[in-house]
Amino acid sequence: MTDKVTLARGLNMGLRRAMDNDPKVVVMGEDVGKLGGVFRITDGLQKDFGEDRVIDSPLAESGIVGTAVGMAMRGYKPVVEIQFDGFVYPAYDQIVCQVAKLHFRSRGLQPMPLVIRIPFGGGIGAVEHHSESPEAQFAHTPGLKVVACSNPVDGYWMLQQAIACPDPVVFLEPKRQYHADKAELDTEVDPDPLFASRVVRPGNDVTLLAYGPTVKTCLKAAEAAEADGQSLEVIDLRTLSPLDMEPVHESVRRTGRAIVVHEAHVNLGMGAEVGARITEECFYSLEAPVLRVGGLDTPYPASRIEEDWLPGLDRVLDAVDRSLEW
């Protein structure tokens, strides 16, 4: 079946298909039932799968993740929704100390096939705590896998693959993209693997590395740069833990220049790890230091200035110029 869908719709369809295929998949979170989630990602699921499988939870994030751990121990596959990125921290202890470690602690006897969905990133004019990018905090934790989708087709497939994954997956969704663009979704093709990065626009001069919301920014940057005669390659990292560096290394060996672009703070963000790995593997190919463009090292600002704070088109192009001038 082929259809043009938004990211929100793709995720919804992916969830529905996963629930159809496996009766052990349950969805839990705040407002995910009757309301269908504040972003409508779970729209209609409770009506079709019932209150036992699409569970409106009390308003307590540690409780959501902690009870999901118990359900996983009983053989269920919980897909929990954290309503907004900035509200994941009450569950941080359960995610880092329990979800991430139980398979290890129990020598594989207590698998944790959880998916923790987190809408992340800014650009929606929200109040504080609704626009954050906490991915590095989870990618730093052994035992977790962390992925970020950037488009409707990936949303549909990656969510199903994350649910099928026997390890716990923190699944990041760029909330700014939920209802932004539509893409052609063919539900019958073989998807790319979950833990694989992907070249989304080939180029020769500079490699842009992005994930989630900044993939679109980088694609726009590449278009704009083309008019100036610059050929930018854009890679959607897709998986943040583990990283899939081979396509990145292949690209940087050709271009000699790399820029990592994410909304999260630059200091100790994913760009630091990606940059270090490029340096380890591609040292003699580099024509310039790996640059990082990201959120400033301040708390997320009040929303009237968020577009200045976020790594937008101009800041990416500025970094491209700096890299090429090196």
Calculated CA dihedral for residues 215, 218, 220, 225, nearest 10 degrees: -160
Give whichever of 64 and 291 is closer to other proteins, judged by the CB atom: 64
The answer to the question of residue 35 lying near other proteins (CB under 8 A) is: no
Q: How far does CA 87 lie from the centroid of its chain?
A: 16
The answer to the question of residue 250 lying near other proteins (CB under 8 A) is: no
Give whichever of 146 and 259 is closer to other proteins, judged by the CB atom: 146
Peptide bond before residue 242 is cis, with ω within 30 degrees of 0? yes
Please identify, among the stretches 90-98, 218-226, 248-256, 300-308, the one whose residues bind other proteins according to the rule CB under 8 A: 90-98
Interface residue with other proteins, options 97, 127, 276, 302 (CB under 8 A): 97
103 is catalytic: no
Pick from 199, 217, 102, 119: nearest CA to 159: 119
Please identify, among the stretches 12-20, 55-63, 219-227, 293-301, the one whose residues bind other proteins according to the rule CB under 8 A: 55-63
SS3 188: coil
Neighbours of 211 (CB within 10 A): 29
Interface residue with other proteins, options 3, 31, 38, 63 (CB under 8 A): 63
Q: Which residue has the tokens 């090196």?
A: 326
Interface residue with other proteins, options 35, 60, 189, 276 (CB under 8 A): 60
The answer to the question of residue 105 lying near other proteins (CB under 8 A) is: yes
The answer to the question of residue 62 lying near other proteins (CB under 8 A) is: yes
Interface residue with other proteins, options 1, 75, 227, 325 (CB under 8 A): 75
Nearest distance in Å: CB 256, other proteins: 24
Amino acid at 153: V
The answer to the question of residue 145 lying near other proteins (CB under 8 A) is: yes
Strands ordered across the beta sheet of 206-210: 198-201, 232-236, 206-210, 258-265, 291-295
Backbone angles phi, psi at 171, to 5 degrees: -110, 110
Please identify, among the stretches 32-40, 108-116, 172-180, 288-296, the one whose residues bind other proteins according to the rule CB under 8 A: 108-116
The answer to the question of residue 90 lying near other proteins (CB under 8 A) is: yes
The answer to the question of residue 42 lying near other proteins (CB under 8 A) is: no
Could you give the CA distance from residue 167 to residue 72 in angstroms, rounded to a whole number?
11
Give whichever of 73 and 124 is closer to other proteins, judged by the CB atom: 73
Between residue 178 and residue 197, which ones bind other proteins under the rule CB under 8 A?
A: 195
SS3 305: helix
The answer to the question of residue 104 lying near other proteins (CB under 8 A) is: yes
Neighbours of 201 (CB within 10 A): 18
Residues 6+ apart with CB under 8 A from 269: 136, 262, 292, 294, 295
SS3 320: helix
Interface residue with other proteins, options 70, 193, 202, 299 (CB under 8 A): 70
Backbone angles phi, psi at 69, to 5 degrees: -60, -45
Active site residues: 130
Residues forming the site for other proteins (CB under 8 A) = 26, 52-53, 57-58, 60, 62-63, 65-76, 90, 93-94, 97-98, 102-111, 113, 142-143, 145, 165-167, 195, 241-243, 245
